[in-house]
Structures are given as structure tokens and as C-alpha cells.
Structure 1
């Protein structure tokens, strides 16, 4: 049986994090790690009560939180086969982890992206700027690298050893696109799985603000053009 660990970056997700943890299929997941990214609410306490391992990362940023989770896995010699990343806002459907990991287990894929581009995505689950940003990023990745991605969705699974080989470095908004670009450059076997997506609980820290949207867009495009020059 494959050892699977879930890493959930979380900033002020007190209202949603219990639902996320509760819906994770515990029969296949050995540990759920919630990285409390300097929350000012009760995120950490709720996550711990729900059974998660809770870490604290004071530096604000999605990538910082993901790297903290990876650091914990490495330092404790947990050696999972697969790492699953998903958000703590309950926009993803955690029970679909069983579907997202299947291409790795059955077809020996290295990376699987949960694609939100399907009929089961909630009508208002993704903002217009997110839709455009995802389209532009994946279009450029297709144009420049012949990549077959349709989304930069945060819900994803990757073989642990392959993840380590990527030497991930982005600390903020570019984490997802960095992983996908490096997977392309390293000739990883990758695919997408359609996933459901609903309106998040609470307000998005990225797409919910003009500043967050602009900075995320700049970071994502900078990663793409950086790799196009290599």
C-alpha cells in the first residue's frame, strides 16, 4: 500500500479547515499536515482538534507554507510515496484524493493536476480574473513548451521523490506554476484529472483582492518567461 501524506497551507481558515480534514479519506492517507501560515484566527486549534498535524510558518506566502510542510516530512523521515496538496478553504472536494492519485498508482504518472475546467465547477467558484489567468498561463505553456495543462489548480498529487528532485523554491504565488514548469523541463510523466470545485468558505487572499490578483499574475508570468529563456 502506498504511503500518502496531505499538505494543506492555511491562512485564516478557521471556518473551513475542519470540513477539509474531515472529508479526507483516512483509509488511504497516513497523515494530514496543516501549515498555519501566520493565521490570526483559530485555524491551528480547529485543525489540531480535527486530527491534523499542525505546523507554524510565520512568513506569509503559499510557497512558504508548502515548503514548511515538505521540511517536516524530510526532517521526520516520513518517506511517503505520494504528496497531495490541496487548499484549506473547502473549495476542493478532498474525497476526490482517491481519483487524483489513481494515475500515479495505476499508470505510473509522476504528477497529477486536479483540473477545474469542467462542467462540475461551481458557477461562481472561480473569478473571471482567475479564469483568464489560468487560460493565459496554460496557453503560454502550450505555446512555449508544448505542455498539455489546462489549469494551475492547487489540488495535485506528486511522487515524493520526484517532488524533491524539483528543488522547489517559490515562496508565494508562483508555487503551482513552478512545479508544472519544472515537471515539463525534467520530462515528468504528467496528466490531469477533472475535479469538482465550489465557492470557497470566506474571502480569497489572492483572487479576492486586486493586489493579490496582480501580484499572482506577475509571479506566474515571470516563471513562464524565465523558463522560456532557458
Structure 2
């Protein structure tokens, strides 16, 4: 199961993405969105993508609409709905990369927006892959971002750093328990960035995703 070294760039009015495919037929698709300060070339997304492709899963790393409008800076709460629409458009565009299931998610802000999209309409994806879910702003646990979690009805995998200031492991466990679907949390000794060059997070995350979301009985193709 070797990965093709090529990356296809897809940019049009609806999506901006770097697409990676395995050499043979893909058993599934993952659409990944970046965090608030990054873009589709973030190291953690590239690490996940390379590992998924090695496991015969196609990956589309996307730039969210706010990032397409400006190359730097954080997203605005006023345009978050546009970002969710961008994720939905990517799911629709890249679903055809495989006859297997499509999983959507991403790192931090990107994963949160994906989870909100799926809470509103689960038809977009068969599962969620959430990397460093930003449960609350650092130092402000009273501002939990959990309102939509009980509306999620697809299997959800969460990758969490034990020293992440956006959530303690205990806070995250309690929050993810609100999801009305099978869930799994992979905790690694790392901060919010989950730096793939300093941790084994990529392999742990992708192994868990393949077992829990693709090879197991959690989701249907």
C-alpha cells in the first residue's frame, strides 16, 4: 500500500484543495480543513494525508473560504457559516474519489466547523475526524463550545493533546460524551499543535481512524 508521490491541486469557485490518492482504488475519502492560523499545507494536515494515503484512503486538504479571501489572519465569527458551506462543497466535490465512506474533519477550527456542519446535516459525511477540537478558549472553561454536540449522529474520532489549553482530557471526555453516536478519543502527550515532527500522533490517529471509522463496523460505505 504505497502512496503516490503526486498531489493534485484543485482550485475553482467552489473549492481550493490539495488532493492525494493511493496508487490503487481508494477504500474511502477524508476531507480535512485547517486550523484558524493555518491553511491546507499545515504540517499536521500533510502528515495525516500522507498516512491515510498509505492506508489506501484518498485525502483532500482544503482551504476554508476565509483563508481564500486573505492569506493570513484568523477567521471571523461572522463568516463561519461560509466556512461550513466550503466544507460541504468539498465533501460533495470529492465524494467520488472512492466508492467507500467519506469522513470529514480537520484540525482545531476546521474540525469544529466540520462538526457543526454534520450536526446540522449528517448526510454530508459518514464520520468525523477531529484533531485538537477547541472545546473552549484557553483559560475560559466557562465558554464551552458544546451546544451542537448532542446533534451529532455519526461516529466521531477525536485526537487530543494532553497539554492542550483548549480542553483538559477530563473536559474533553465529558463533552464528547454528549455525542449521540459511537466515539473514540486518542490522547497523546502534546500541546494543541500536535506537532507531527515531535510526536507519534499521525500514526496513532490514522491507525485509530482506519480501525474505528473505515475497517470496523462504525460506519457504512
Tell me whether the two structures share a fold, i.e. TM-score over 0.5: no
By relative contact order (CA 8 Å, sep 6+), the higher-ranking structure is 1
- Provide the TM-score with structure 1 as the length reference: 0.36
TM-score when scaled to structure 2? Answer: 0.37
Identify the structure with the greater helix proportion.
Answer: 1
